Chains A and B, each alone.
Chain A
Amino acid sequence: MLSFVSSQFEVLRDNNKCIKCQVCVKQCANEVHKYDKEDNVIICDEAKCVCCHRCVALCPTKAIKIRKNILEFKENANWTATCINEIYKQAESGGMLLSSMGNPKTFPIYWDKILLNASQVTNPSIDPLREPMETKVIIGRKPDKLEYDKKGKLVTKMPPNIELNMPIMFSAMSYGSISKNAHEALARAAQKLGILYNTGEGGLHKDFYKYGKNTIVQVASGRFGVHLDYLNAGVAIEIKIGQGAKPGIGGHLPGIKVGEDVSATRMIPIGSDAISPAPHHDIYSIEDLRQLILSLKESTNYTKPIFVKIAAVHNVSAIASGIARAGADAIVIDGFRGGTGAAPTRVRDNVGIPIELALACVDQRLRDEGIRNNISIICAGSIRNSADIVKAIALGADAVCIASAALIAMGCHMCRSCSTGKCNWGIATQKEDLVKRLNPDIAYQRLVNLLTAWNNEIKEMLGGMGINAIDSLRGNRLMLMGVGLNLKELEILGIKHAGE
């Protein structure tokens, strides 16, 4: 069948600069570039290009440029090129459309409509280069109050809590969806930074048990790789109910990515598809979640906090309240911009609500019910920079999780083709030759650099507000003001409009 789908990109080669070294040919797993020996030229099959910049970055003479293919359909505000091309694809394949990474549509990004405060005159700003500035946070369940006996001795026993040197963790990304080298880099960076990374639902590779003090192990609906040693391997356990990129549906790791190592880690046969069910088949209601939380606590002798991760959906605040009451120690809320290795496009682009609104309403709801202080709220789903983090914490989060940003730090160029398994940067792939391209030493250093820089930026912004501990930023919504937001949006965010 003739494909009507035209190439998304043009590959431009400056033949004056090209020295025919064929680096581009070797580097492109999508086989865009091909060397023609007879004519001594490199030719391109543009239709295969995903715009990952691998050839651009590695070309020694900078002879390659990738540009958007400007082939136009007749102008139509309704039937856009995307609409038309998607119909062509489905008419040709008969399949659901698949996409990778978070919702790329033009929905509002509330982070960009919120501005931060700073001190002037009546209140001195604090200089983090000269004064102590604290960004440590403690995650986990807190008792209603602390009790002392008559001799002034503390009698309340604290539930298991986790210290993070900065209010940032790496979100769940499974071994399988990303490579072993990527996992190693995340684990080592978490260790160096005094934070946590998350195994995702793919189990924990035997080589990585040594990073246990900086590991969250995940229990998802497929229960891949879950066994007692695994549960006890990390410092916390996360029950994954949902994911921002695909609320309401499970995961799918194609058999092609299930090699020997992934198979052993996931405890499934080599080459078999790893399909996690949409719901947990032992959780059909909130009381079932309570049982799973308690059985995980029982299995680990009440030494690990249990996180419950949900996608930000319409009724998120009531769900979060239920989770808090079901005994979870922390709630992870994942917004619709959150990334994924693969999701049905229609789900990714149309299901869920913006994380900023979800976070604001969950924080307020838990306060209205007087239980906010008992549980930690972790905000995930496209935290792009340190200012997003400051805003998230001022809205009410205890900490944030990042994944897309961490992948980008390691080399991801957001070509959003993870599901093909042909990641040229060695991140979202299991092909040995591609995985080798990601040097874990360098990737680790890049992650450490990124978060060190972000932590310094957070300190600078805190100091500007006249605050010297991140504790005083959490839920401090007076530090935020909106621009260009309507009254309802301001009401939900619980902030004022700039100038008010």
Chain B
Amino acid sequence: MKEGQIRIPAGCAISGIIDKKRNRFNGESIIKSIALMHERSNGLGGGFAGYGIYPQYKNFFALHIFYDNNQIKAKTEEFLSEHFEIESAGNIPTRAVPSIKDKPLIWRYFVQPRIYKVRNLNMDEDEFTARCVIRINKDFLGAYVFSSGKNMGVFKGVGYPEDIGDFYMLENYEGYIWTAHGRFPTNTPGWWGGAHPFTMLDWSIVHNGEISSYDANRRFVEMYGYKCTLQTDTEVITYLLDLLVRRHKLPMEKALQVLVAPFWNDIEKENSKKAEELKALRAVYSSALINGPFSILIGYEDGLIALNDRIKLRSMVSAIKGDKVYFASEESAIRVICKKPENIYHPKGGEPIIVKFEEAK
């Protein structure tokens, strides 16, 4: 059985680095950081997201796709060329690593939606691309799009994260945000798509925890055309964010207040105008509240966000050094790549830390 046919709880390690001035650095330090937390993973899933890694293709959607075989690849490529102009296509380069086995076909396409298709459907390019990705993941058995943003990409698989990083040769990529994930599933799915990060367009999420509101969240987002094919928490959180920020256009701070809503007791302490607003957010989006233990790192085009559940049931530390901000499940994972980190901070339950680039794109 693989992800999507069964729901598998998992514990994890996460780590993330952002350079606020968009100075790019290669994937070695993020590998080193996540490798330190080896004991928090069990070799059944690891992955990375890098932002700013494809400057030469920054206006194209970068689709990373796993294929089970060449037949489904041919079928999917037919669908892709029907809907997109494909600027470039090819294998994602990998090197042989003894512990990484049973790899699927791993392909990468830089694409742009076919304009007439987008216009016919009266939607924007993002929405069009998102729908195509959902369609492939739902209907093309054996094909799985695991990354679909612009100037960013996800690299993941079954194995310890440091081995996965080595396998994808992340030392050859330079980005201004890196996040990483090491997975400890309570079952053996052995499926590459099930590893984190999980993405939708520019969103990428790495997540440590198990959300107990899963089915309430899932049934809510599925009303809006999403399809939770993986049955993972990370997938549903990604869709919630996409719905709130991209489609409902909530300011990011408000969207986060939906996901980790303030307690009613705290809302009552606010002045009446603020309380009314918070009450409206909770009333309208009560099904988007995420419950249960989690710490997550959300990468997106404007920066990196760290978020804990409302009562901090999972660990998460942040630190600053120069232009860089670090997040990790454990402080040691920051110290191993950053000598003398400053402002070491344990974000409170439900307190989002939003790090934006100093200059917008």
Interface set of A (CB-CB < 8 Å, partner B): 119, 122-124, 126, 131-132, 134, 136, 138, 140, 142-143, 145-148, 152, 154, 156, 158, 161, 367, 370, 372-373, 465-469, 471-479
Closest partner residue, chain A, to B210 (CB atom): A123
The contact string, 1 if C-beta is below 8 Å from chain A, for chain B 48-73, is 00000000000000000000000000
Does B97 belong to the interface (CB within 8 Å)?
A: no
Size of interface on B: residues with Cβ below 8 Å to A: 47
Closest partner residue, chain A, to B185 (CB atom): A122
Write 30 A-B pairs (CB below 8 A) sorted by A numbering: A123-B212, A123-B293, A132-B263, A132-B265, A132-B311, A134-B263, A138-B286, A140-B283, A142-B284, A143-B284, A145-B250, A146-B248, A146-B284, A148-B251, A158-B276, A373-B223, A373-B287, A466-B210, A466-B212, A466-B291, A466-B293, A468-B291, A468-B310, A469-B289, A471-B216, A471-B286, A472-B213, A475-B216, A475-B287, A477-B219
In the assembled complex, the CB of A398 is this many whole angstroms from the nearest CB of chain B, namely 9
Does B78 belong to the interface (CB within 8 Å)?
A: no
Does B261 belong to the interface (CB within 8 Å)?
A: yes
A142–B291 CB distance below 8 A: no
B283–A138 CB distance below 8 A: yes
CA distance in complex: A140, B293 (Å): 30
Chain B positions within 8 Å of A154 at CB level: 277, 280
The residue in A123, A124, A142, A477 that gathers the most chain B C-beta atoms within 10 A of its C-beta is: A123
Does B171 belong to the interface (CB within 8 Å)?
A: no
Interface set of B (CB-CB < 8 Å, partner A): 7, 9-11, 186, 209-210, 212-217, 219-220, 222-224, 248-251, 253-254, 261, 263-265, 276-277, 279-287, 289-293, 310-311, 313
A474–B212 CB distance below 8 A: no
CA distance in complex: A466, B211 (Å): 8
Known: A138-B279, A143-B284, A158-B283. A123 touches B9 (CB 8 A): yes
Closest partner residue, chain A, to B292 (CB atom): A466
B223–A138 CB distance below 8 A: no
B248–A145 CB distance below 8 A: yes
In the assembled complex, the CB of A326 is this many whole angstroms from the nearest CB of chain B, namely 20
Chain A positions within 8 Å of B282 at CB level: 138, 471
A476–B283 CB distance below 8 A: no
CA distance in complex: A119, B222 (Å): 25
Known: A134-B263, A478-B214. A122 touches B291 (CB 8 A): no
The residue in A367, A471, A473 that gathers the most chain B C-beta atoms within 10 A of its C-beta is: A471
CA distance in complex: A373, B220 (Å): 8
CA distance in complex: A156, B284 (Å): 11
Closest partner residue, chain A, to B313 (CB atom): A124
B261–A373 CB distance below 8 A: no
With A146-B280, A148-B251, A161-B283 already in contact, 19 other A-B pairs whose C-beta atoms are closer than 8 Å: A123-B209, A123-B212, A123-B293, A124-B313, A146-B248, A146-B285, A148-B249, A148-B254, A152-B253, A367-B223, A370-B223, A373-B220, A466-B293, A471-B261, A472-B217, A472-B292, A474-B287, A476-B214, A477-B215
Q: Give the A-B contact count at a CB cut-off of 8 A.
A: 120
Chain B positions within 8 Å of A124 at CB level: 293, 313
A131–B311 CB distance below 8 A: yes
CA distance in complex: A161, B283 (Å): 9
A147–B265 CB distance below 8 A: no
Closest partner residue, chain A, to B283 (CB atom): A138
The residue in A367, A373, A473, A477 that gathers the most chain B C-beta atoms within 10 A of its C-beta is: A373
Chain A positions within 8 Å of B277 at CB level: 154
CA distance in complex: A473, B219 (Å): 12
In the assembled complex, the CB of B359 is this many whole angstroms from the nearest CB of chain A, namely 20
B224–A367 CB distance below 8 A: no
Chain B positions within 8 Å of A478 at CB level: 7, 214-215
B286–A467 CB distance below 8 A: no
A152–B213 CB distance below 8 A: no
CA distance in complex: A359, B154 (Å): 42
Chain A positions within 8 Å of B10 at CB level: 122
Chain A positions within 8 Å of B310 at CB level: 468
Closest partner residue, chain B, to A134 (CB atom): B264
B281–A146 CB distance below 8 A: yes
Chain B positions within 8 Å of A122 at CB level: 9-11, 186, 210
A473–B280 CB distance below 8 A: no
Task: Indicate which residue in B212, B215, B217 contacts A119 across the interface (CB closer than 8 Å).
Answer: B212
A471–B214 CB distance below 8 A: no
CA distance in complex: A472, B310 (Å): 13
Chain A positions within 8 Å of B186 at CB level: 122
B215–A479 CB distance below 8 A: yes
Task: Indicate which residue in B210, B250, B284, B289 contacts A472 across the interface (CB closer than 8 Å).
Answer: B289
In the assembled complex, the CB of A470 is this many whole angstroms from the nearest CB of chain B, namely 9
Chain B positions within 8 Å of A134 at CB level: 263-264
Chain A positions within 8 Å of B291 at CB level: 466-469, 471-472
B9–A370 CB distance below 8 A: no
CA distance in complex: A140, B10 (Å): 37
Chain A positions within 8 Å of B311 at CB level: 126, 131-132, 468
CA distance in complex: A142, B258 (Å): 15
Closest partner residue, chain A, to B310 (CB atom): A468
In the assembled complex, the CB of A405 is this many whole angstroms from the nearest CB of chain B, namely 26
